[in-house]
Amino acid sequence: MTVGAELLRTSTALLAAYRRCGTLQAALHELRVARWYPAALLDALETVPERALEGAAVAIQVDALACGMHLEADLRTRAGAVLARRGVRVTAALVRHVQNQARLGGIEGPLHVRFIGARTETLPDAPEDPS
């Protein structure tokens, strides 16, 4: 795995753990216990200011889309049809729908999403995904 891919995989896992645990230290502990992530990288991520994790926006591939993320941009098919609007909270149904569309070649990454921390449920004025 390339260094960039490892960084993306680990930082994405850290943001997901942060959402579950609520603090940076608890999230890092969870990842260290799992032993799936490089210790040196986790040590470096320990210096990230906790406030930076709140609402962090990233570009991800379709297969990394997960429940609880929020779309940072409209999610469109290659033909331009809108599948979900910016600000929508990603649900399990939306993940399945997007992954099915991607398998059919109708969506390509990256997807732009925002991680909302454990203390914030949704973006201001963010609608729930209707699916």
- CA proximity to 70, closest of 31, 6, 108, 15: 15
pTM, rounded to two decimals: 0.54
Q: Is 39 exposed, middle or buried (0-12, 13-18, 19+ CB in 10 A)?
A: exposed
Q: What pLDDT shows up at residue 113?
A: 87
Q: What pLDDT shows up at residue 129?
A: 46
Q: Which two tokens stand for residue 30?
A: 């969870």
Q: How far apart are CA 65 and CA 88, in angstroms?
A: 13
Q: What pLDDT shows up at residue 30?
A: 92
Chunked into runs of 10 residues, the chain (131 residues) has average pLDDT values of 79 81 87 90 82 73 81 90 91 90 85 64 41 47
Q: What's the number of CA atoms in the CB half-sphere (13 Å) around residue 41?
A: 18
